[in-house]
Structure 1
Amino acid sequence: MNQHNSAFASKGEPLLDLAALRADTPGCETVIHFNNAGCGLLARPVHRAMVEHLDLEARIGGYEASAASAARIGDFYAAVADLLGCGPGNIAFAASATDAYTRALSSIPFQPGDIILTTRNDFVSNQIAFLSLRKRFGVEIVHAADRPDGSGVDVDAMAALMRARRPRLVAATHIPTNSGLVQPIAEIGRHCRELDLVYLVDACQSVGQYPMDVSEIGCDFLTATCRKFLRGPRGTGFLYVSDRVLRAGYEPLFIDMHGARWTGPDTYLPVESATRFEDWEFPYAAVIGSAVATRYALAVGIEPVSRRTPQLAARLREQLAQIPGVRVLDRGPRPAALVTFDVAGWSPEPFKQALDRRRINSALGYREFAQFDFADKDVTWALRLSPHYYNTESEVDEVAGAVAEIAAGSPAGGR
C-alpha cells in the first residue's frame, strides 16, 4: 500500500505513525472509539473501495461489476491467507464469525454420544450452538476446568480429557468477548495434533490484534469476523479450513451450487478448496472492503499492533483500578485489549448512556453472555472498553477520567 509508506520506517520494521493513521480514520474526528471489540472504525481506503464498487454496480450491473472486479475480489482470499500463514484455497468468505462457525460445525457428522470438549470461557453463540447440537443429536458437552486462579483453561486437564474421552470435536475461543482473557490455543492445538482430534478455534477478537499462524495453532478450523480489530465492514468474516480436513471430505450440511458441482441426477462433487463452505451470493463491495482492510492491517504491521493495543488496555486498567466502586474483571498474565469492569451501585444502561453523552463508545455485557465466567466473578453485567492502535494515550486518560466522574455521581434513576 504505497499511499501509506510515510507511516512506516524505511528499514523494514513498521512503526506506527499515529498522526497518519488517525488521519486515515475519519471516526477519530468525532468520537473516542473504545468499542473495537464490537466494530473497529473503517479506514478511508476501505470505505473508498466499497463505495467505488457500489458505484460500479449502479453503472454497469451487479454481475458485470463482480466480473470486472474479479482480481480485487480474489485478493480477499490471498490477503487473509497472508494474514494466517496458509494458502488462499484454505479460506472461505462468511457473513460473520458465527456464520463461519456454524458452517464448520455443520460439516462434522455428529452421532449420539459424541463429545464436544470446550472451555468455560467461550463465546455465547458457540455455546448455544453446542446446546442445540445436544438437543438434536444427543452429543455431550464437556467443559475443561480453569486454572485455580481463574486465568484461563487448565491445558493439562483439557489434555487429560482428550485422552480419556476422545472427543469428536475440541473447541476453544482465543479471546472471549466478555473479558481480556487470552487462552493458550496453540498449547491446546499441540495436544489435538498428537491425538488426531478435530480442533475448531474462534479467533473473532484476536484477528487484527495479534499475529495468527494456523500452522502454529494447529487448528483444523478457524473463524473470525472482519469488522472488529481487522477494521473491515460489517457483515463479513471468514473460515479457515485445513488441508487435512479438506482431503477428508468435510463439507457443510447445506452445500450449494457454489460449493459443489451437480454431476448427475443423484450425485454431486464438492469443490476442492474451502470455498465449498461458501454460498453463491456475496456482498461483493464488502468482500473487496475486507480485502483492503486486511491488506491495510498487514501494512500497518500486526507485530507493532500486538504490542501497542494491549499496552493501551493495560494503561486503562491501571487507572480504572484506582477508581472507588470500580472493579476490573479481566484475568490472565497478559490480557488483550478488552477491558471489562463493573461499577458498584450502578445499572448498566445509565452508565453506558453517560459515556455516550461524552462521545465515548463502549459496549455492555450481561450474565447471559458469559454464564460461567460472570458467575465465577459474581457479576450480572460489565462495561467493556476496547482501544485499538489508532487510539491515543490521552484518550485513555480521558476515558478513565470520565469513568471516575460518572462513578462518583448519582444521576436520577442512574442506580
Structure 2
Amino acid sequence: MDWQRARQDTPGCKTVLHFNNAGAALMPQPVLDAVVGHLQLEAQIGGYEAAAQQVEAVERVYDAVATLLGCQRQEVALIENATRAWDMGFYSIPFQKGDRILTGVSEYGSNFIAFLQVARKTGATIEVIPNDEFGQISIPKLRQAIEHRIRHLAERLRDQLSDIDGVKVQDLGQKKCGIVSFTVAGKEPSEIKQLLSEKKINLSVSSAQGTRLDMDARGLASVLRASVHYYNTEAEVERFSTTLASLV
C-alpha cells in the first residue's frame, strides 16, 4: 500500500488531522470527482436521465467490489450506510419462537433495539455473552451458549425418539453431544434413511467399521445418526420425530 499516494489522493489530509474515520472517512479525490460530477450531470439533464446515462458505470462498481472481495457480483449489495445494511441483513432472518439471539456487552444501540423488536414480535430470546478478563467477548462463553442449544435440541430429539414404539436410542455416556444414534426394530438403518430422504429429511448411517470395538460389543451392525446444529429448530425436531413415527 502506497500511503503517501493515498494521502496525496485525499485533499482533506492537507487541511485537517482527521481522527473521525470510524464515523466517516475523508473522501479521496476520485470519489469526490465522481459524486460531484454526477450531481452536476443531474443538474444539467435531470436525475432519471443522469441515472440512465451512468448505468454501465454503476454496474462496473459491482464487478470491482466483487474482484476486491473475491466473490461473485450477485453476492454484492451496495447500501447507503453500515447501519442500514446491518438492519437489512438482520431483519431478513426468519426468527421464530425458541430461537436465540446471541450478542455481546458492547453491542451497538440501534442493533440491540432491533433485537428487542424481533424478540417481542417472534418470541425469540436475547442472550448477552459476557466479556472475558480482557474486556472482549468471551469466546468460551460464546461456545458454551452455542453448545447449549445443540445439546438441548439433541436431548429433545432423544426424548421424542424414545417415545416411538420400536425405536431405541443407542447413545451412551452422561454428557451427550448433538449426535443422536438410534435403531428401529425390524428395519435396516439404510431403509429408514431412504424413506426419510424421500420426505426431504437428511441423516446418516454409521456402520460398525467406524467404531468396531464399541459396536461389536453391543451387537450393532449399523445405526442411524441424526446430528443437529445451531440453525436447527424445535419445530424440525418435532417434524423429524413425527415423520419417523409414521414410517415404523
Q: What range describes the TM-score normalised by the shorter chain of this pair?
A: 0.5 to 0.7
Structure-1 residue corresponding to 2:60: 75
Deviations 1:165-194 (A, max 9, x none): 25xxxxxxxxxxxxxxxxxxxxxxxxxxx9
1:117 aligned counterpart, secondary structure = strand
Q: 1:31 to 1:84 in 2, by over 3 A?
A: same
Question: Larger Cα Rg: Structure 1 or Structure 2?
Answer: 2
Correspondence 1:27 to 2:23: no
Q: What residue number does 1:155 align with?
A: 139
Q: In the alignment, which of 143, 161, 166 is matched to residue 128 of structure 2?
A: 143
SS of the equivalent of 1:143 reads strand
How many residues are matched? 155
Matches within 5 A, 1:191-210: 195=229, 197=231
Deviations 1:241-271 (A, max 9, x none): xxxxxxxxxxxxxxxxxxxxxxxxxxxxxxx
Q: How far apart are 1:162 and its partner, in Å?
A: 1.0
Distance in 2 separating the partners of 1:80 and 1:197? 29
Higher relative contact order (CA 8 A, sep 6+): 1
Q: Deviations over 1:58-101 (max 9, x none)?
A: 22222222222112111222232233321110111222211111
- Structure 2 length as normaliser, TM-score? 0.56
Contact 2:146–2:230 at 8 Å: present in 1 too?
Answer: no
**Counterpart residue number, 1:102:** 87
Equivalent position of 2:211 in the other structure: none
1:196 and 1:87 map into 2 onto residues whose CA distance is 27
Q: Residue 45 of structure 1 corresponds to which residue in structure 2? A: 30
1:59 aligns with one of 16, 40, 44:
44
Gaps of 5+ in 1: 1-13, 167-193, 199-415
- What's the CA shift for 1:34? 0.8
Q: In the aligned structure 2, how far is the partner of 1:39 from the partner of 1:138?
A: 36
> What is the Cα deviation at residue 45 of structure 1?
0.9
Is the 2:149–2:230 contact (alpha carbons within 8 Å) kept by the matching residues of 1? no
* Cα distance between partner residues in 2 of 1:121 and 1:26: 34
Could you report, residue by residue, the CA deviation over 1:181-212 in whole angstroms, capped at 9, with x for unpaired residues?
xxxxxxxxxxxxx94649xxxxxxxxxxxxxx
Question: Hey, what's the Cα distance between the residues in 2 that align with 1:141 and 1:71?
Answer: 44
Residue of structure 1 aligned with 2:2, choices 15, 31, 37: 15
Instruction: Return the letter of the residue paired with 1:54.
Output: L
Cα displacement (A) at 1:57 = 1.8
Shift of 1:26: 1.8
Secondary structure of the 2:77 match is strand
- Structure with more helix by fraction: 2
Structure 1 residues 35 and 72: alpha-carbon distance in aligned structure 2, compared to 1, 3 A threshold: same
1:164 paired to 2:148? yes
Q: How many percent of aligned residue pairs carry the same amino acid?
A: 41
Quote the residue 1:292 is aligned against. Answer: none
Equivalent runs, 1:257-406 vs 2, <5 Å = none
Confirm or deny: 8 A CA contact 2:99 2:124 kept in the other structure: yes
Aligned to 1:117: 102
The SS at the match of 1:141 is strand
How far residue 137 of structure 1 moved from its aligned partner, in angstroms, is: 2.4
Separation of aligned partners in 1, 2:132 and 2:123: 29
Q: Which residue of 2 aligns with 1:134?
A: 119
Q: Report the Cα distance in structure 2 between the residues aligned to 1:149 and 1:55, rounded to whole angstroms.
A: 51
Q: Following TM superposition, by how much is the alpha carbon of 1:38 offset from its aligned partner in structure 2, in angstroms?
A: 1.1
| SS class of match (1:93) | coil
Give the Cα separation in 1 of the matches to 2:138 and 2:64. Answer: 34
Residue identity opposite 1:92 in structure 2:
A
SS at match of 2:78: strand
Unaligned runs of 5+ in 2: 151-227, 233-248
Deviations 1:351-396 (A, max 9, x none): xxxxxxxxxxxxxxxxxxxxxxxxxxxxxxxxxxxxxxxxxxxxxx
Quote the Cα distance in structure 1 between the aligned partners of 2:60 and 2:19: 30
